[in-house]
Structure 1
Amino acid sequence: MTFTDALLSAPRPVIMEVKRRDADGTDLMWPRTVPEVVAAYEEAGAPCVSVVTGRWFGGSEELLREVAALTRLPLLRKDFVTSRRQLERTRELGASAVLLTVKLLPAGVLARLVDHALDLGLTPFVEVADAAEAAAVPRAAQCVVAVNNKDIATRERLPGDLDRSAALLPAVRATGTRCAVSASGIADPADAARLLEAGFQGLLIGTGLLRAPHPGHWCAALDAARRAPAGALNAL
C-alpha cells in the first residue's frame, strides 16, 4: 500500500513522527529507545511514520534505516532534500515518501524532483506555507500537499499557527491533491479533531505526541473529540 493510500484509508489519519530533538535542541526521546517509540506508534494505530533525518533535529540516515528495520508501515523521510541522489538514497533506506519543501526549491528543480521521486516509487510529500506555494506544486494529484504550520525561516522555533492550515485548505484542495495534510505545531487533540473536521485528510504530529505520556492516550483523546456532538468542538 502506498503512503497516500495508507493515510487515506486509516480511521485515524495521523502520521506519527520519530524525532530526536525539538527546534530548541531539547531531547524528545529520552528515556525511550527508538524501538520503544516505534512499537508505541504501532500500538496506537499509526498508518504511517515520519522520520526526521535532518541534523537540525538530531536526525540521521541511520535513524531512518533503524526505523525501517523495525516496522512495515510506510515511512516519510523528513529532511531538506534538494537532489536526485538524496531521493535515491531515501528509497535505498526504506522510505515510501519524501519531504520536498517548496520554499527551498526553484520551480524547475521542484518539478524535476517530483518527477524523479514518482519514478522511484516515492510519494512526494510537498510542504507549502502560502497560497502561491500551493499553486506551484507540480503533479499535485500524485502528491501529498502539506501545510507547514511553522516557519522554517525561524528554524521552527515559534509556536505553530494552526490558522494557517485553516486559511490555506481551499488553496491546497485547488491543487487537485488527493491528500491534504496539516503538519507541525499540533499538540492538543481537540485542535487535531478540528483540523480533520475542517477537511484535512491527514495530520503530521511529532513533538505533541513525543511529549504526551503515551501516544495511545493522546489518540484516545483525539477519538473522543471527533465523537463530540456537532458544534461541540468549538467549545473545547
Structure 2
Amino acid sequence: MSSRFIEALLGAERPLVMEVKRRDAHGMDLISGRTPADIVTSYEAAGAPCISVVTGRWFGGTPELLRDVARLTQLPLLRKDFITRRDQLAATRELGASAVLLTAALLPASSMRTLVTAALSEGLTPFVEVTTEAELAAVPHADECVIAVNNKDIKARERDPGDIGRSLTLLPALLETGTPCPVSASAIDTPETAALLLSAGYKGLLVGTALMRASDLRAWPKVPVA
C-alpha cells in the first residue's frame, strides 16, 4: 500500500511532522489566541510535509479539531489520540486523517497486531510509537508503518523532561524492522536537537510544543546535505 503520509515525509526538505495541539502536557495554553487556520498557514509556509492533530483530551483536543484542520489543508494528517478500538479507525479516516497514532506502551501485542492490520485496511498509515526493543518486536507490517520512538513517558502523561538518548539508542533496532520512515517524537525542544536526530539517521521528527511556541519556524533544520 502506498502512503501519502510516508511519501510526503520522506520527500520533505524540512521533514518535521508539525503538530497542532491546544495544551501542553502540563495544561498550559499553546494556542495563544490563534485560530487553527493561523497555525496551519504558518506550518504550510514553513514547508511542513505533514501535520499532526492532537484530538486527545489530555491536551485539550477534540475530534472536531481534526475535522477543522482537514478543511484547511491538503497536507496528510496524523490523528494523535489513544486509539484502542477498530471503530475508532473508521472515524479517524472520516475525520480526514491519513495516519493514526498507535501507542505500543498502552496496547497488548494482540491488540497492536489487530489495529495495525485494520488501519492498513482502512487506508490509514499506522504511526506506531515505541519506547523499547520489546515493543518494536511486537509491531507487524513494519515495512508499511511509520515507527516512532517516543522520548517521553506516556504513562506519566508525558510530563517528564524526556530522553533524546532513547532515540539514539533505539535507532539501529528501528532500522532493522524495515520501516521506511523511522521517526523521533517528543522532547525535541530546539532546532539543535532536531539537527542532531536528523544527522543520526532519522527520516522524520514529530515536534509539538516547541513548534507551537516557536517565533521562527524556518530556524528549524532541513535534511542534512551529504
Classify 1:226/1:188 alpha carbon distance in 2 versus 1 (closer, same or farther; 3 Å). farther
Give the percent of matched residue pairs that are identical in Structure 1 and Structure 2: 62
SS at match of 2:93: helix
SS at match of 1:204: strand
Does structure 1 residue 21 correspond to structure 2 residue 23? yes
CA distance in 2, matches of 1:58, 1:117: 25
Q: Partner of 1:5 in structure 2?
A: 7
Q: Partner of 2:180 in structure 1?
A: 178
Q: TM-score, normalised by structure 2?
A: 0.96
- Given candidates 114, 117, 120, the residue that maps to 1:115 is 117
Q: Partner of 1:214 in structure 2?
A: 216
Contact residue 184 and residue 206 of structure 1 kept, 8 A = yes
Structural mapping, 1:150-161, within 5 Å = 150-161=152-163
Number of corresponding residues = 224
CA distance in 2, matches of 1:215, 1:172: 28
Classify 1:121/1:107 alpha carbon distance in 2 versus 1 (closer, same or farther; 3 Å). same
Q: Partner of 1:198 in structure 2?
A: 200
Letter in 2 for 1:6: A
Contact residue 135 and residue 171 of structure 1 kept, 8 A = no
SS at match of 1:98: strand
Letter in 2 for 1:183: A
1:171 positional shift: 1.1
Structural mapping, 1:135-150, within 5 Å = 135-150=137-152
CA distance in 2, matches of 1:135, 1:13: 26
Where has structure 1 moved over 6 Å in runs of 4 or more? Answer: none
CA distance in 1, matches of 2:217, 2:90: 32
Q: Partner of 2:108 in structure 1?
A: 106
1:226 positional shift: 4.5
Letter in 2 for 1:21: R
Letter in 1 for 2:118: H
Q: TM-score, normalised by structure 1?
A: 0.92
Letter in 1 for 2:18: M
SS at match of 2:126: strand
Structural mapping, 1:221-236, within 5 Å = 222-223=221-222, 226=224
Q: Partner of 2:64 in structure 1?
A: 62
SS at match of 2:136: helix
| 1:7-29: CA deviation from partner (whole Å, max 9, x where unpaired) | 01111110000010001000001
| 1:144-190: CA deviation from partner (whole Å, max 9, x where unpaired) | 00000000111101112100000010111111100100001101111
Contact residue 165 and residue 182 of structure 1 kept, 8 A = yes
CA distance in 1, matches of 2:53, 2:91: 14
Contact residue 79 and residue 99 of structure 2 kept, 8 A = yes
Letter in 2 for 1:124: P
CA distance in 2, matches of 1:226, 1:171: 22
CA distance in 2, matches of 1:143, 1:194: 23
Letter in 2 for 1:149: N
CA distance in 1, matches of 2:162, 2:36: 25
Q: Unpaired segments of 5 or more residues in structure 2? A: none
CA distance in 1, matches of 2:84, 2:6: 22
CA distance in 2, matches of 1:5, 1:132: 27
Contact residue 19 and residue 208 of structure 2 kept, 8 A = yes
Deviates more, 1:63-72 or 1:169-178: 169-178
- Given candidates 79, 82, 87, the residue that maps to 1:80 is 82
- Given candidates 41, 45, 54, the residue that maps to 1:43 is 45
Contact residue 112 and residue 138 of structure 2 kept, 8 A = no
Letter in 1 for 2:79: R
